[in-house]
Amino acid sequence: MTSRNDSLFERARKRIPAGVNSPVRAFRAVGGTPPFFERASGPHLWDADGKRYIDYIGSWGPMVVGHTHPKVVEAVQAAAARALSFGAPTESEIELAEAICRLVPSVEMVRLVSSGTEATMSAIRLARGYTGRSLIVKFEGCYHGHTDSLLVKVGSGALTFGNPSSAGVPPETAAHTLVLDYNDIVQVETLFKDKGSQIAGVIVEPVAGNMNLVLPRPGFLESLRENCSRHGAVLLFDEVMTGFRVALGGAQARYGIRPDLTTLGKVIGGGLPVGAFGGRREIMEKIAPLGPVYQAGTLSGNPVAVAAGLATLKLVEEKDFQSTIEATTRSLVDGLIAEAKKAQVVFSAQSVGSMFGLYFRASPPTSFAEVLQCDKDRFNRFFHALLERGVYLAPSAYEAGFVSAAHGPTEIDATLAAAREAFGS
């Protein structure tokens, strides 16, 4: 008997490339048919066949308070009743900007956009416009959206499909992007000694989440800050994923490093499309119409999306929110490690804030090269074993996972029970 998921996937492939609107959703890395979801609540999703899953993707990060939280839904409904879009200023835009500047240590001014990709694209242009330089430094395995100049040795979906870069990106565009190994301080020092006066900026995921979860080694982020300051380059933290996830003020608050520019997304939209880039006032004032760096967006600061983001941030700011969700994530990771050990499976895991990584190798990776040493086939089997048991992980060995405030002991215990069976098989 054909499931509704199968029939929907077949129907989708006739009109949508590969049947999906974002590559990793196609399940090509793990095989099989992706579930098509119809509704969500708290930590759970229900697919087109009515099957319930414990969700550890959270729409790839934004659902930090859980799905369809009543206060977020109420805020969205109230905003939608007033207007779906103005294409003009609103007070709620100011409120979200004020909240971001208050919570994120380095941000003095911020501009709202509609996606994380748009935020990083605009921030890179701003770094170049501010410095008058062309070169941008990124790190192998880090993904900063699909803007041309950053699609060089990327992570996330492109890593899943084994493409170090994308067709359609002119070589002369890619030539302005220099790629180093994540966590390699010596490479950073060497490059800046050689080309420091030509480097406009360094963009980095302060905690990498697009080649699975890779934590910064002690001194790595500090070396980026020191070299950018010494050579007049802009340090740009891509906190689209880590913002309000690894700490209330993002990775920069957790690790005590102040970048010059920060990009945000996901959580600040509460599940609706919102992005932002912000930072030092003197740099942000180079943005049009104050300065010569052009950036615009018809739906930037959309009132419905901003309402969802404001309601989410109010919940994230509540006392004990961060400590509770971090403890829940840690209990999941510790439990998975224990179950794998009992089954004598080579496995490791780690977490930071409410993000986690699972690896079929003896210890957590610290670089892109070590990520590639993980047993991808074993992950794929583990993924499907959990999916069959109602646990929804990212369909790729190269993606971080996310826990929400709606996950509790019941969900963690059920996940560990499913993992116990999966490891045993």
Residues 133 and 226 in one domain: yes
CATH number of 43's domain: 3.90.1150.10
Residues 98 and 206 in one domain: yes
Residues 229 and 177 in one domain: yes
Other C-beta atoms within 10 Å of 425: how many? 9
Other C-beta atoms within 10 Å of 260: how many? 24
Residues 244 and 100 in one domain: yes
Residues 60 and 97 in one domain: no
Residues 47 and 146 in one domain: no
Asked if residues 329 and 400 have their Cβ atoms less than 8 Å apart, the reply is no
Q: What angle do CA 363, 143, 41 make, to 5 degrees?
A: 80
Q: Which of 354, 350, 331 is nearest to 405 (CA)?
A: 354
Of 268, 283, 316, the position where a domain reaches its end is 316
Residue 116 lies in domain: 70-316
pLDDT in 10s for each residue of the chain, 425 residues: 679 999 999 999 999 999 999 888 889 889 999 999 999 999 999 999 999 999 999 999 999 999 999 999 999 999 999 999 999 999 999 999 999 999 999 999 999 999 999 999 999 999 999 999 999 999 999 989 877 677 766 544 443 433 445 677 777 777 788 999 999 999 999 999 999 999 999 999 999 999 999 999 999 999 999 999 999 999 999 999 999 999 999 999 999 999 999 999 999 999 999 999 999 999 999 999 999 999 999 999 999 999 999 999 999 999 999 999 999 999 999 999 999 999 999 999 999 999 999 999 999 999 999 999 999 999 999 999 999 999 999 999 999 999 999 999 999 999 999 999 999 98
Q: What's this model's pTM, rounded to 2 decimal places?
A: 0.94
Residues 113 and 103 in one domain: yes
Asked if residues 305 and 273 have their Cβ atoms less than 8 Å apart, the reply is yes
At 202 the three-state DSSP class reads: strand
CATH number of 139's domain: 3.40.640.10
Rounded CA-CA distance 161/373 in Å is 16
Of 295, 316, 337, the position where a domain reaches its end is 316
Of 283, 316, 349, the position where a domain reaches its end is 316
For position 166, what pLDDT does the model report? 63
Residues 326 and 274 in one domain: no
Rounded-to-5 percentages of helix, strand, coil across the chain? 45, 15, 40
Instruction: Please list the active-site residues.
Output: 143, 238, 266
Q: How many domains does the chain have?
A: 2
Residues 76 and 183 in one domain: yes
Residues 324 and 312 in one domain: no
Residues 75 and 163 in one domain: yes
Burial 336-371 (b: 16+ CB within 10 A, else e): beebbeeeebebbbbbbbbbbbbbbbeebbbbbebb
Residues 45 and 75 in one domain: no
For position 165, what pLDDT does the model report? 58
Taking only the tens place, the pLDDT of each residue in 205-255 is: 999 999 999 999 999 999 999 999 999 999 999 999 999 999 999 999 999
Rounded CA-CA distance 272/37 in Å is 17
